[in-house]
Each structure stands twice: as structure tokens, then as C-alpha cells.
Structure 1
Amino acid sequence: MHHICLIEIFWHNLQYGLSIGVAPYFNTKMTLDLACFTETFTLNDALESIGFGKFHCKLALMVTLSWIASSIEVMITSLLAPQLRCEWRLPSYQVALITSMLFFGMGTSSPVWGHMVDRYGRRVGLWICTIWTAYFGLLSSFAPTYGWFLFLRCIVGFGLGGTSQAMTLYSEFLPMKARGCSIMIIGGFWSTGTLIVVLLAMWIMPTLGWMWLLGLSVTPMAIFISVCFWIPESLRFDMLTGNTGKAMATLRRMAKENGKPLPQGKMIAFKQVSLHIHILRHWRTTILLPFIWLANSFSYYGIVLLTTEFLQSEDSCGLTQEARIEQTCSLQYKSLTSNDYKDILWTTLAEFPGLLLCMLGVDRIGRKKSMAVSYIISFLSFLPLYGCIGRYVSVNVSIFIARAFIYPQFHLALVYTLEVTLALGICIGMGRLGSLISPFVSQVMLTMSLYLTLSIYCGCCLLSAIACVMLPIETMGMGLRESTFDGDAVPSNTTNNRSSGATFSCCQGQIKPE
């Protein structure tokens, strides 16, 4: 808590008395008004006082719907690839292009959605991008040709680029102690979405086909759209845009639902400092963190796509030999079988124990060490694939372990980036770049050299582990900052005289309760 100097209160009292021709004059009402606000608090103080409770559970339920829906739209592409390869007689580079165009749309849309949420708020931006994704996701199920399908999936990716705002919005309501664990729990619902789409594919693909699968996959997004109006606007957005009444109303709502009191006094915000200045102060983090995001997305989606490729061969060494011969698919599609879907379910389940282990470490050994250890384990799990091991060991053991420890990196990196307040949009954009180029390695380069493909993924994991160790800041125990860099709060004295009294602020960006 911050205390306003009593001398400053006396000075403003004296100013008010002089302004009406009575000096010295002490306005009793004004003195009482100022006495009520002799204490100030920041947004982080308010969040810590309110704690984690019923409000956050309800908000988490809404966010999980968005996260599940986004997961389904992203992961469904890897399941459609074997079917579309044979139905449209696609070579490997065209199959890879389907996934890459989705991520190309996601990457190009990030600045657009970022500008929208900065101007209109996170809730509005999230609602619009979800409607966009649901509409074009449904439309892509009617694509008559490969060209139309490629175009529509790129447009779907454009909408998906804004759905990451759901996690950012949720994190801004969390108290410091609950942030790391809560974000990791929400991350588990991405895996839930993957499980749902695999089960849907197992049930629908053999009978109704891929068009029905794509059409039904937008159902979670339709549900989220119907409940999106309940989600409150970001407190930090309201503060920085001057919507003080909405910010205080949201805090009162949180306090009421959680059964906790708000801090006494007035809430203040700190002066914003230029993003360029903040980046220059943290130049090493500015270089390392975007690379970690790129490597994480590159490795994760590489593992997902390698899974379906490994399922097409009896052993890992046979992959390259079989890939050099274009599959004719003459009388029967080379689509995934029931056993293939079960293997995909098994590797997807790996994400849950991986998340659990990282949840145990993120608030104990810290963010940096948790990320570094996970990358090293993923690197080691790739090494057995260099041998001509059978399908059971390659998919059910090596890829299982690699996926278990790569997937949590998304959420560990998100927690770290939010806490260090370093241009989240830049990091997400680098992640999209990694996702975009990964299919050409896991599906196209694999046809030329298994060893080169594995070496790239191994090297990526190893370099990421080194980058995590080199990060200069450990953010465990740090609160989210209320602006770009709130350590540079600059006091200012502004007075607003009224007939009934006077109010003043001690910091720029002051938030006054109603």
C-alpha cells in the first residue's frame, strides 16, 4: 500500500480555501474525502487481496471452451492429411502446404487482431475472431477442390490467430501464486480438444468422410460464441484506456463472487514506458525468448505430424524408402486405420502427465529450469529414432516421451512472457513461423533423409534448452505488470476543484473508485 503525504493533503486544503476567499480555510467534507483515500493500491494488490475463487473457476470454464475449439481446428489437419493425399492424389509438398497455410493465416493475422484488441478490448476481439473461425471452418467442409480447401483453411487460420487472446485475458485476472498452475491446467484442455477430434475422426471418417468431420468440428466454437458475453473485459485494458468505472465494477464483482474484500483506498496505475525502451533494457531476453517460442512450435507440430508419418511404415528406417515411391492409392485409400487412431490417442495422452510434471516444477524450481529440463528430455527421446526401431517403440515410447515434454513448453513460455512483459505479439508471431516451416521438414524433408529430419529437431531442442538457461530473469514470484514497464511510475500533482470539494492524484493514470 502507498500512503499520500499529510502535508500534500494540507496544501490542497489550503489551496481550496484560498480559491473561495477564505484563508486559512479547511473544508470539512473535503478533508473527510481525502482521509478516505489516504491509502492507494495497484491492480496487482487488488488481485492478491481477492485471491483465487468462484469467479476464476467460472472464467476458466469459458476459456477452456475457446481453447478446446482452437485445438480441434488446428489438430484436425494432421488427421485429414492421409485421406486428402489419396483422394486428391497429392504429392508430399502439397500435403505439407495444407498445414503451413493454416499457420500462415495465423501468423499474418496476429498484428491485425493485436491492433483490434488494443483498440476495442480483448473480449470483443475474441468474440469476432471466434465467429470468423467458426464460419470459415464450416465453409471449408464444402471445399470441392484442393485449391479451395487450401484457401479456406488459410482463412480459418486467420481467425485462429486471435483465439490466443483467451489465455491472455484469463491470465490477467489471476493472482500471482495461482498463475503458473492455473495456466498449466487450462493448457490441459488443448490436449482435451485433440482427444475429442481424434475420437470424432475414428467415428466419422470411416463412414461419413472428412467433410462431415470438418463440419462437426466447429460445434465447440458455436457453444463458446453463445456464452462469450459473460466474459468480462480485461482489467488492464480498462485501466489503460481510462474506463475506470468498468475496472472497479469488475473488481467488485470478483470480490463479491470470491467472498473477499477489496483493498481500502484508491487504485492507481503507473505511467507507460515505450515498448522500444523496454526491449532495449532487456535485449538478451528479446533475442532468446522469441527463439524459444519458434523452436517450441516447430518441435511440437513436427512431432504431431511425424506421428502420422511413422504410422505409415513398420519401422522408422522404412519411412524414407517408402516415401520415395508415390503412393498410387489405386483401389483403397491409405487412410488411418482403427489401430492408427488408437496410437494417436496414446501419444496425445502423453501431454497430460507432461503438464502435471511441469505444474509441479513451475512454482518450485522456477520457469527457466522447468523449460530447460523439458527440452533436454525431448532431445534425448528423439535419439532412439535414429535406429531402425519398430513402430511400437518409435510411436508408443519415443514420440510419447517427446510429446509429453514438448507440449508444456507452450504454457511455460506464455507464463514467462507475460511476467517479463516482453512483446507477447512478437513471440507469438515467431511461434507461428516455427509452425509454418515444420510441415516441410516433417513431411517433405522426411522423404529425402530421416537422419537429417531428426537432426534438425534434436538440434532445435538442444539449442532451446541452452537458450532457456541463458535467460537473465527468473520470473517465479513476480506479478504481472500493469503497463509496459511499471517500475517507472512518475508522480504528478493534478488538482480538480469542485463546488463540493476537491480530488487529486499522486500518480499518472490514476484510477478513482466510484
Structure 2
Amino acid sequence: MEEGSILGGALVTFVAGLLSAFSPNYISLLILRGLAGAGLGSGHVFFSWFMEFVPPSNRGKWMVVFSTFWTFGSVSEAALAWIVMPILTWRWLLALSAIPAFVLLIFIVFMPESPRYLCTKGRITDAHNILDKIAQFNQTSLPSGNLTSDGTNDLDEEFSTSEETPLLSSARKRTTVRKSGFSSFLMLFSPRFFKTTILLWVLYFGNSFVYYGIVLLASELSGSQSKCSSSILLSENVQDASVYINVFITSFAELPGLLTAALLVDRVGRKLSMTIMFIFVCIFLLPLVTLQSNILLTALLSGARMFSMGTFIIANIFAPEIYPTSMRSTGAGVAYAVGRIGGMVCPLVAVGLVTSCHQTAAILLLEALIVLSVVVILLIPFETKGKELVNTIDGVSNSKQVLVVA
């Protein structure tokens, strides 16, 4: 984990988020909200960091559990808007929304560095100290053996029953650290990773576009499908508390989606799980090509958001598993950034179509991106379910299965 990037991201998010509540004009509001969003870009590092503490046998399940806090945040924000907006102003909403970033600044100092990452950097003593603290917290002891500078743990052949649970998923693997003249970013475009990188970028773009499209449509379509004027639509949505209620309900729909993802991800694998859930997103969105009642609209959007959240989270699990530790945060982070482009374009395209009275075109666009995302998933030539994470690029080369690096 890059503590500096997380600390910097949290600081930027908090400061920009708080200052945006005092914006004197629209331009400054846009700039400050943009900075707050840029700070949130460091959030993907948490996935890579937490993943390196979890054994491969149930890594997917625990990563989904970890992701539930995203949903709790979405539900909390919707509830906060529901409570604050009718009685106060949007400035209060923005100011209160910055508080979690401040809390994160406090807790960062208690977050341990990834022992796996430390081993790849030759910081063996630091890695051992962290593992020892983990063992003490769990009221157990470390397996016998010594951590070595190439990121391996030469364990003795004999273990007691309590020692068999690996604290590092690569405890029995030897990986070789070789210095490379390429940066982690440039390695994404090497022949070894180029195809996978491009496929992940397309998957993240489509996933984010569809997910944020569903999130935004919950407010754009709510109670106003019969109106085509964007100015009327927006003014009514701001004043109508039903918007916040519908967003709150559809946010809650993410919880069963996460439960479904947790049940599938370690059983049928990452690729099949995403494919199944994308199919259900497609099914729930299809009736929205025509106008629906408010109740049916909320139900369909809730179902679509439920499964869309599942695909979103599984993709966030899948991407860090693909790359070795030496470039995991970079690979997953760049894919995450490309996905954010999808989230940026979505309001201009899909939501813009809805507000200009082209709801059918907007839904068909989302459906097309779902189909594209499924095709991309099928083209990715490997599955990471149950695979151990690889520390170095050499570990990828030595893998028996081409490109199976996790």
C-alpha cells in the first residue's frame, strides 16, 4: 500500500469537499468537486492492500465483504440528502459529506503496510514485525521459518495444525525479484500485459458507464417520465423529496447484489460471476425502453443496480489479482481511472438522452455497453479464482498457465 497516496487522496478529498460547501459561484464549485473526485481516485489502493492479507481460497468472498462499506456509504449519503436537503441547503450536505474523509485521515496511521509489498522491496524486518503483530492479535504464532529478501518465506516442512493457515498466500512460493528498467506504468503496455490491460480498460469503462448510468437514472426518471423538458425535470427533482427516497431505495438494492456476488465469486469464478450478473442487469433494464409506472421503475432500477454493483465489485477484485505485487496498484489504478472516464461521460450521453426525451436510446446504449463488457470478459484468457497472488513479473513468466498470475 502506498500510504502517501492514500493520505494525500484523503486530505485532498476532505479539504476540497469542505471548501466546496463555501463555493461563491458555480465555476469554483465545479473545480472543488473535481478536486474532491481526484482525491477519491486513491480509493482503489485499499482493494490491492486488503487483498494481500487474504488467502486465495476465500479471497473473493472477503473482498466482497470489504466492498459492502462502499454500499453503506452510498446508502448513508442518500439518507443524509433525504434528511438535509428538505430543511437545509446543499452547502450543508457537502460539508457533512466531507466528514468521513477527515475520519479516514485519523485511521490511516493505524493501517499496516502490506507484508507482501515490503518483502518485494527487501524490507524483511518490517514485514516480519507486521506479521508478528497480526499473529499476536489472532492469538497464534507465526509459522516456523524465515522471510527472505526475494519475497519468499522458507517454511519448514513440518507444521502444527494451527500453523497451516498461511499468513501470506505465497508462503510456499519462491519468487525472484529482478530490477527492471521499465516503470510499472510502462509495463502495462509490454507484450506480456498489453492485451489484458486493454481488455480491462474496456471492461472498467463499460462497467462504470452502466453502473453510474443506473445510479443517475434513478433520479432522472423518477416521477417525471411524462415530461421531456430538462429544465422542468431538474427543477422538480430538486424540490421533490421522492427523488431522495428512490435513490435511497435503489442504493439499498446494492446489498443483495453484494450478497449474490459473495456467493458466486469463489464458487463459479470471477468471469462467470460477472457474465451472469451482467445478463441480469440487461434483463432488468430492457423494460425501461418504454415508460413505466413509478413503482415498477423503482423495482427495475433496483434490480439493475443490485446486479450492476455485483459486477462492479467483482471487477475490482479481478483487476488487482491479475497483476503482480510490483505493479498491482498501478495496473488496477489505471483501469479504475479509465472506468472513471466512463462515469464522466455517462451524464453527458445516457442521462442527456433521457432529459432530451430519448429514454429508449439511452437504455439501448446501456444495453450495448453491457453486451460489449460481456464479450470483453469472455476474451480475457484466464480465471483467477483460487489462484495465489504473484509478487513479481518473473512470477508471471514462470506460471504454468499463460497469464494466470494470481
Q: Report if TM-score (shorter chain) is over 0.5.
A: yes
**Structure 1 residue 279: Cα displacement:** 4.5
Does residue 364 of structure 1 match 2:267?
yes
**2:165 aligns to what?**
none
**Structure 1 residue 124: Cα displacement:** 2.7
* CA deviation string 1:109-155 (max 9, x = no partner): xxxxxxxxxxxx52232122111211110000001211111111111
Residues 386 and 451 in structure 1, CA contact (< 8 A), matched pair in contact too: yes
In structure 2, stretches of 5+ residues that fail to align are 152-175, 399-406
Does residue 271 of structure 1 match 2:182?
no
- After superposition, where does 1:429-508 map in structure 2 within 5 Å? 429-446=337-354, 447-488=356-397
**Structure 1 residue 284: Cα displacement:** 3.8
**1:51 aligns to what?**
none
**1:293 aligns to what?**
204
* CA deviation string 1:221-256 (max 9, x = no partner): 222212221101122332233222111111111122
Residue identity opposite 2:35 in structure 1: I
**2:279 aligns to what?**
376
Residues 372 and 466 in structure 1, CA contact (< 8 A), matched pair in contact too: no
Does residue 417 of structure 1 match 2:319?
yes
Q: Distance in 2 between matches of 1:224 and 1:277?
A: 30
**Structure 1 residue 175: Cα displacement:** 1.5
Residues 139 and 152 in structure 1, CA contact (< 8 A), matched pair in contact too: yes
Residue identity opposite 1:309 in structure 2: E
Q: Distance in 2 between matches of 1:348 and 1:463?
A: 25
Residues 123 and 232 in structure 1, CA contact (< 8 A), matched pair in contact too: no
Counterpart pick for 2:74 among 181, 194, 198: 194
After superposition, the Cα gap between the structure-2 partners of 1:456 and 1:277, relative to the gap in structure 1 and judged at 3 Å, is: closer
Does residue 143 of structure 1 match 2:23?
yes
Residues 220 and 237 in structure 2, CA contact (< 8 A), matched pair in contact too: no
Does residue 348 of structure 1 match 2:256?
no
**Structure 1 residue 302: Cα displacement:** 0.7
What secondary structure does 1:266 align onto? strand
**Structure 1 residue 185: Cα displacement:** 0.9
**2:3 aligns to what?**
123
**1:62 aligns to what?**
none
Residue identity opposite 2:293 in structure 1: G
Runs of 4+ in 1 over 6 A off after TM superposition: none
After superposition, the Cα gap between the structure-2 partners of 1:168 and 1:435, relative to the gap in structure 1 and judged at 3 Å, is: same
Residue identity opposite 1:327 in structure 2: I
**2:134 aligns to what?**
254
Residues 237 and 243 in structure 2, CA contact (< 8 A), matched pair in contact too: no
* CA deviation string 1:28-77 (max 9, x = no partner): xxxxxxxxxxxxxxxxxxxxxxxxxxxxxxxxxxxxxxxxxxxxxxxxxx
Q: Distance in 2 between matches of 1:222 and 1:138?
A: 10
Residues 373 and 465 in structure 1, CA contact (< 8 A), matched pair in contact too: no
Residues 20 and 94 in structure 2, CA contact (< 8 A), matched pair in contact too: yes
Residue identity opposite 2:348 in structure 1: F
**2:168 aligns to what?**
none
- Number of aligned positions between the proteins: 360
* CA deviation string 1:443-468 (max 9, x = no partner): 32221522221111000011111221
**2:241 aligns to what?**
338
Does residue 134 of structure 1 match 2:40?
no
**Structure 1 residue 328: Cα displacement:** 9.7
**1:229 aligns to what?**
109
Bigger Cα displacement from structure 2, 251-260 vs 209-218: 251-260
Does residue 427 of structure 1 match 2:340?
no
Counterpart pick for 1:327 among 217, 232, 237: 232
Q: Distance in 1 between matches of 2:236 and 2:378?
A: 47
Counterpart pick for 1:179 among 50, 59, 75: 59
What secondary structure does 2:238 align onto? coil
What secondary structure does 2:191 align onto? helix
Q: Distance in 1 between matches of 2:28 and 2:346?
A: 22
What secondary structure does 2:390 align onto? coil
Q: Distance in 2 between matches of 1:343 and 1:476?
A: 36
What secondary structure does 1:281 align onto? coil
After superposition, the Cα gap between the structure-2 partners of 1:389 and 1:271, relative to the gap in structure 1 and judged at 3 Å, is: same
* CA deviation string 1:146-168 (max 9, x = no partner): 11111111111121111221222
Residue identity opposite 2:177 in structure 1: K
Residues 184 and 359 in structure 1, CA contact (< 8 A), matched pair in contact too: yes
Residues 278 and 484 in structure 1, CA contact (< 8 A), matched pair in contact too: no
* CA deviation string 1:424-452 (max 9, x = no partner): 23311211111111111233222152222
**Structure 1 residue 277: Cα displacement:** 8.3
Q: Distance in 2 between matches of 1:124 and 1:443?
A: 36
After superposition, the Cα gap between the structure-2 partners of 1:376 and 1:124, relative to the gap in structure 1 and judged at 3 Å, is: same
Structure having the higher Rg: 1
Q: CA RMSD in A?
A: 2.2
After superposition, the Cα gap between the structure-2 partners of 1:342 and 1:255, relative to the gap in structure 1 and judged at 3 Å, is: same
After superposition, the Cα gap between the structure-2 partners of 1:468 and 1:405, relative to the gap in structure 1 and judged at 3 Å, is: same
Q: Distance in 2 between matches of 1:417 and 1:166?
A: 13
Residues 204 and 315 in structure 2, CA contact (< 8 A), matched pair in contact too: yes
* CA deviation string 1:306-329 (max 9, x = no partner): 11101151x4xx25x233xx3399
**1:309 aligns to what?**
220
What secondary structure does 1:419 align onto? helix
Q: Distance in 1 between matches of 2:343 and 2:302?
A: 20
Q: Distance in 1 between matches of 2:207 and 2:284?
A: 15
**Structure 1 residue 282: Cα displacement:** 4.6
After superposition, the Cα gap between the structure-2 partners of 1:444 and 1:475, relative to the gap in structure 1 and judged at 3 Å, is: same
* CA deviation string 1:462-503 (max 9, x = no partner): 1111221222101111011112342457xxxxxxxxxxxxxx
Q: Distance in 2 between matches of 1:312 and 1:165?
A: 38
Q: Distance in 1 between matches of 2:57 and 2:216?
A: 36
Residues 124 and 147 in structure 2, CA contact (< 8 A), matched pair in contact too: no
